[in-house]
Structure 1
Amino acid sequence: MYRIVNIINNNVALVKNEKHEELMVTGSGIAFQKRKGDLIIGSKVDKVFRLNTEESKENFLTLLKDVPLDFITVTYDVIDALVVKYEYSVQEYLYVTLTDHIYCSYHAVQKGTYQYSRLPDVSYEYPIEYAMAEEALAIFKTKLLDSFPDDEVGRIALHFINAKGEDVSSPTSKINRTKNILELVKEELKESQIERTKENSNFYDRFMVHLSYFLDYLDRSRDDNTSLLDMESHIKNSYPKAYEIGTRIYEVIATETGVDLYRSERVYIVLHIQRLL
């Protein structure tokens, strides 16, 4: 039996069990016409999430705003199972970034807009993460979408690599470059009094995901986004602080990569910074 602490929607509730542990439970209609303090019978519950920190609880609730419940439950199950199987420590934000990524990839495949990456083959350098990604993709294909491209293996592996609880970088790899630049960006944000908190964690993590993929696609042939360029002057005047911080980050990336970046990329960065501010 579970006692309701807070009703999220008809199918999700924050509850306490007999040991007074806070849990998130899901199930079809389990909270329908119920109130705080009411009981939920265990047999009605499909899935129980043990959210051990306030951050994990906030992350779960943030995802629920944008992502269907089945994508959240499947991805959480995948991460939990692989962490145990491979004795692999991960940082909390992986639950947000991988769930968000899988949902976005699903939409891209369904709409026919999926673009294949040119990520380096990490199977030799990171055999554990690559094996985890292969298992994860197999589950995603079985439970979410059987037409997920095999290209997703490299992308999923990158999520595990970036979220590992301890440093696994290689000084010669492209992945190492991405990790180093992300650390420099975090330092730049910190100097601007922008740090990751439970209030901004969703926007912060999405920004890191955007930068991670942007850095991986730097060598891909593409065109500048003219519609964003048309907005640049307006954005600069409307969000001067975000534009200043975004320009510094833009210059850090240009310096570290040696790539002549498109101006529209600065606009993307500034918009992310404004959300954080």
Structure 2
Amino acid sequence: MYRIVQSLNNNAALVKNEQGEQSVVMGMGVAFQKKKGDLVNAQKIEKVFSLKSSESKDHFFMLLKDVPLDFITVTYQVIDQLSHQYDYPIQDYIYVTLTTHIYCAYKAVLDQTYQESKLPSMLQEYPIEHQMATDALVIFRQKLLQDFPEDEVGRIALHFINAKGEKAEEQVLKVETLQLVLSLVEKELAANGILRTKENSKFYDRLMVHLTYFIRYSDKEHSGTSSLDQMAATMQLAYPKAYELGSRIHDMIATELGISPNEGEKMYIVLHVQRLV
């Protein structure tokens, strides 16, 4: 039994069950003329999408401002399904970054502005992530856009690689340290003429979401790979300004936290910065 917490539109609503657990339910007319506290007609529910944590809920509503609901729910379901199927631990920020990426790729394909990433194949060095990305692309083609290019396999795999978590309890830094490092990042961006504005707020905020998770759940040791080295070289040529600034931000964070460089994380930061510059 579900009760309405907030109607999202006539066909979707944020609800909670008798245990107080929150979900998003979808179905034709499921929230029509419903108000907070009303019971949901179970016969109208076609999909139930669980929000497992307060962070998942916050991310969901942040995305909802800019991304259509079907892209959010499909991407969340893909992440949940594949992380469970492959027993693959993830950090929560992938819900924001992968959803945003898929929607941007969708628009680029429709606008005929899609550009190949030219990323090298990750099959040999990251076989699990490559297979997860291949499975994900099948679902995205079935449910969102049949014309998603094969190039998306490499891009989706990179999202999983960079958002991989730890099965054991991860190290969490004190709030003061987190705020200090993010403040340094904001100053570095400002020094390069990048301030948070109404126009760039969604990209700025998603960079900060990503950096928050990188800072909080950073590993102490990282090893480079030839594939990551090739990707870095490709990005340096394609996005020289973003690569320079993203590298400085990454190196500054690594120095502040006392961790070794993470080439994969650096590239992810570069991609976020590219959207801002």
Report the TM-score, using the length of structure 1 for normalisation: 0.66
Which residue matches 2:122? 122
Which residue matches 1:107? 107
Quick one: structure 1 residues 64 and 215, their matched pair in 2 at CA, closer, same or farther if it must change by over 3 Å? farther
Do the aligned partners of 2:49 and 2:77 also contact (CA within 8 Å) in 1? no
Quick one: structure 1 residues 104 and 215, their matched pair in 2 at CA, closer, same or farther if it must change by over 3 Å? farther
Q: Distance in 1 between matches of 2:234 and 2:209?
A: 14
Tell me the amino acid that sits aligned with residue 190 of structure 1.
L
1:40 partner SS: coil
Q: How many residues align?
A: 218
Q: Distance in 2 between matches of 1:27 and 1:189?
A: 43
Q: Distance in 1 between matches of 2:40 and 2:119?
A: 46
Quick one: structure 1 residues 18 and 132, their matched pair in 2 at CA, closer, same or farther if it must change by over 3 Å? same
Quick one: structure 1 residues 31 and 154, their matched pair in 2 at CA, closer, same or farther if it must change by over 3 Å? same
2:157 partner SS: helix
Tell me the amino acid that sits aligned with residue 91 of structure 1.
Q
4+ residue runs over 3 A deviation: 186-191, 200-204, 206-210, 214-217, 219-225, 245-253, 268-273
Tell me the amino acid that sits aligned with residue 138 of structure 1.
V
The farther-off stretch of 94-103 and 18-27 is: 18-27
Tell me the amino acid that sits aligned with residue 131 of structure 2.
A
Q: Is the counterpart of residue 205 in structure 1 residue 211 in structure 2?
A: no
Do the aligned partners of 2:182 and 2:208 also contact (CA within 8 Å) in 1? no
Which residue matches 2:189? none
Q: Is the counterpart of residue 190 in structure 1 residue 191 in structure 2?
A: no
Which residue matches 1:218? 235
1:24 partner SS: strand
Residue identity over aligned pairs, in percent, reads 51
Do the aligned partners of 1:6 and 1:15 also contact (CA within 8 Å) in 2? yes
2:65 partner SS: helix
Which residue matches 2:195? none
CA deviation profile, 1:161-213 (whole Å, cap 9, x unmatched) = 0000139xxxxxxxxxxxxxxxxxx998435286xxxxx99744346879x9x
Quick one: structure 1 residues 156 and 15, their matched pair in 2 at CA, closer, same or farther if it must change by over 3 Å? same
Which residue matches 2:146? 146
Do the aligned partners of 2:203 and 2:276 also contact (CA within 8 Å) in 1? no
Q: Is the counterpart of residue 28 in structure 1 residue 28 in structure 2?
A: yes
Do the aligned partners of 1:23 and 1:50 also contact (CA within 8 Å) in 2? yes
Tell me the amino acid that sits aligned with residue 50 of structure 1.
S
Which residue matches 1:6? 6
C-alpha displacement of 1:222: 7.3
Q: Is the counterpart of residue 53 in structure 1 residue 50 in structure 2?
A: no
Do the aligned partners of 2:88 and 2:164 also contact (CA within 8 Å) in 1? yes
2:56 partner SS: helix
1:66 partner SS: coil
CA deviation profile, 1:89-114 (whole Å, cap 9, x unmatched) = 11111111111101100111111100
C-alpha displacement of 1:158: 0.2
| Superposition CA RMSD, Å | 3.9
Which residue matches 1:81? 81
Report the TM-score, using the length of structure 2 for normalisation: 0.66
Q: Distance in 2 between matches of 1:28 and 1:62?
A: 24
Tell me the amino acid that sits aligned with residue 66 of structure 2.
D
2:7 partner SS: strand
Q: Distance in 2 between matches of 1:165 and 1:246?
A: 22
Quick one: structure 1 residues 219 and 83, their matched pair in 2 at CA, closer, same or farther if it must change by over 3 Å? same
Do the aligned partners of 1:117 and 1:151 also contact (CA within 8 Å) in 2? yes
CA deviation profile, 1:13-64 (whole Å, cap 9, x unmatched) = 2212233322222223322211111111112112212212111001111111
Which residue matches 1:229? none
